[in-house]
Amino acid sequence: MRTIIPMAGLAALLAVPAFGQGTAPATPPGSDRVTQATTVSDLAALCAPRTDGVHRLEAIAYCQGYLTASGQIYTLLTPATATRQPLVCLTSPGPTVAEAGIAFANWAAQNPQWATERAVDGLLRFAHATYPCTVAARGVR
């Protein structure tokens, strides 16, 4: 069984700024530690951190929170009753948030052309590429 997320509301979601976007740099000067997700590469670095200890746990928590919140916002903006074709069809059961974070980081590494794109836009590209809606999946709600 697949859960279908229709495209309705996609424009509204894309208009929502990604968490942490602003004028502050995503990486503090003199550090390789990413502290916010402005771009795809920032979010990927948080989802597959190269640091140890507390900084690693903070990065993973940020990644998982970002993915969870983005997914919840998108789901709220795209009800299953929408008449537009879905953008993403998740399997049931879907991936864990940890699996999704690792998969996103791997996708970002394989798609460097999107590295400077807004994190939320890249996350949607990843979801669409990873969980496309096939003709068979569209018939299941």
Domain-wise residue ranges, the chain: 2-18+34-138
pLDDT for residue 139 is more than 90: no
Q: Could you report the per-residue pLDDT of 125-137, keeping only the tens digit for each?
A: 999 999 998 755 5
* Rounded (10°) angle between helices 40-47 and 97-110: 130
The pLDDT confidence band at residue 43, using thresholds 50, 70 and 90, is very high
| Alpha-carbon span 40 to 130, nearest angstrom | 16
Q: Is 17 helix (H, G, I), strand (E, B) or coil?
A: coil
Q: Could you report the per-residue pLDDT of 55-97, keeping only the tens digit for each?
A: 899 999 999 999 999 999 988 887 777 777 778 888 889 899 9
pTM higher than 0.85 for the full model? no
Burial (CB count <10 Å: 0-12, 13-18, 19+), residue 55:
middle
Using alpha carbons only, what angle is made at residue 10 by residues 72 and 141, rounded to the nearest 5 degrees?
65
How far apart, in Å, are the Cα atoms of 20 and each of 36, 66, 80, 132?
Answer: 5, 10, 29, 28
Query: pLDDT higher for 60 or 21?
Result: 60
